[in-house]
Structure 1
Amino acid sequence: MKMNSNSRRNALKIFSAAFMLSMLGGKIAWAASDSPPLPANVMTPEAALKRLMDGNKRYVSGKLNVRDFNQSRVALAKGQNPYASILSCADSRVGPEFCFDEGRGDLFVNRLAGNFVTPDILASIEYGAAVLRAPVIMVLGHSECGAVKAAIDAEKNHTDYPGHIQNITSALSPAVKAGQKHGGNLLTSTTLENIKINVVKLKESTPLLRKMVDDKRLIVAGGLYHLNTGKVELVA
């Protein structure tokens, strides 16, 4: 069914009003519910970051929370209320919900090889912060990252990768150059620099994220996931 011009204008007004309410700290109504499905997820940025790291401690120790997904399914059908956004590598060995011992509806996860900010990823993360009001963003890199290895190979050996893979190595090139300045293990230093570069990008992203960081409504952190231990080390 086609919308006439008045209907389109009204729809735009409704969307704009909802967005402004979210930016002003108002509540967006959840379908068929007046409150978020997971009220325990409403917390300060500091508490949200602590919850992430406490969950990782449980994961490393093997003392994981027991979850009944049947109980949460109906509530989550009414809406989502994640307390953290994660920018993670697409590597199959890295699972944010696992390594932070969280269930469905808790984390707003954005994944791509190399865990770096693109326009589409930025839009998604802005949605998580401004509309879903997740008070913490974590850029989650990991040890032995294949995307970082490819970027190092491209930088040092001028290797050309097929298809769009070269876009990844080009995007990670600044991290390789920064890693080379530090000496030592180039893979480790590049991985760390890539995390830090993208933390800064998100903190300084205008107009949404930078203002939320300045207003103390949002924390942007960087973590390094160690494949051999499962531990997430805060590095930014």
Structure 2
Amino acid sequence: MPARRSILAAALPSTRPAANGHRPASASAALALLDAGNRRYAACHPVHPHSDLGRRRAVAVTQHPFACVLGCVDSRVPPELVFDQGLGDLLTIRTAGAVLDEAVLASVQFAVAELRVPLVLVLGHERCGAVSAVVEAVRTARPLPGHLAYVQRALTPAVYAARRHSGDWVDNAVRESALQARRRLVAEPELAASVRVAAGRFDLDTGRVRLIG
């Protein structure tokens, strides 16, 4: 099973929310802000930064997010809440199972090339319904219906790779899927030299995010 470590372990020591109009310049500093916000969220002490009228007016004319988060559509995993961030802080992309497609790749490219984010985080999560459905489809050899077949095709390699690990098949597949998405993004020539790509897993029970891989 891939090793886990705290985001903070790889980050700079500053953990205060970025001031309006300013953002961390490095991926390590961005990770530090994400980790600090996630710790506040997990402890039920969010500060909801950058949500006042001044911030709303400021981002109405320009945006400078400090990270791009590719996550799942699951209603329990909204990145702005999970990381206790506000308006203009995160560029978020959400698909079932955090599946990559051309629109997602274009969105990440936009975040990196146009908005100059220093960090892209692929965020899987505990008890992912999309991954669970694909695991069950593979287990029973019954394909998923309609457009869910696309999600099944995208996640099946991770589901099979997860069989190599002991423990819960679904949770291992969540990790494998996030890592495979990370490797795909790192291999993109438009992204490789411009941004750090990380992968993480959100624990629904504790509220904490841990880096994987």
Q: Distance in 2 between matches of 1:42 and 1:183?
A: 38
Percent of pairs identical after alignment? 36
Partner of 1:220: 197
Q: 1:230 aligns with which of 184, 207, 213?
A: 207
Q: Any unmatched runs of 5+ in structure 1?
A: 1-36, 213-217
RCO comparison, higher one (Cα < 8 Å, 6+): 2
Q: Any unmatched runs of 5+ in structure 2?
A: 1-18
- State the secondary structure of the residue aligned to 2:123: strand
Find out whether 1:93 has 2:70 as its counterpart: no
Paired residue type of 1:136: L
Q: 1:187 aligns with which of 146, 151, 170?
A: 170
**How much has 1:135 moved relative to structure 2?**
0.4
1:38 touches 1:80 (CA, 8 Å); kept in 2? no
Q: 2:29 aligns with which of 40, 47, 57?
A: 47
User: Cα deviation per residue 1:181-213 (whole Å; 9 max; x = unaligned)?
Assistant: 11321111111111111111111112x10122x
Q: Distance in 1 between matches of 2:121 and 2:183?
A: 11
Q: Distance in 2 between matches of 1:201 and 1:127?
A: 16
Q: Distance in 2 between matches of 1:117 and 1:130?
A: 18
2:48 touches 2:85 (CA, 8 Å); kept in 1? no
Partner of 1:63: 45
Q: Distance in 1 between matches of 2:201 and 2:45?
A: 21
Runs of 4+ in 1 over 3 A off after TM superposition: none
Larger CA Rg, structure 1 vs 2: 1
1:48 touches 1:136 (CA, 8 Å); kept in 2? yes
2:48 touches 2:84 (CA, 8 Å); kept in 1? no
User: Cα deviation per residue 1:99-121 (whole Å; 9 max; x = unaligned)?
Assistant: 10000100000000011221110
Q: Distance in 1 between matches of 2:44 and 2:133?
A: 33
- State the secondary structure of the residue aligned to 1:211: coil
Partner of 2:6: none
1:1-236 aligned within 5 A: 38-67=20-49, 68-206=51-189, 208-212=190-194, 218-236=195-213
2:162 touches 2:176 (CA, 8 Å); kept in 1? yes
**How much has 1:42 moved relative to structure 2?**
4.3
Partner of 2:11: none
**How much has 1:87 moved relative to structure 2?**
0.3
Q: Distance in 1 between matches of 2:164 and 2:96?
A: 24
2:70 touches 2:121 (CA, 8 Å); kept in 1? yes
2:69 touches 2:122 (CA, 8 Å); kept in 1? yes
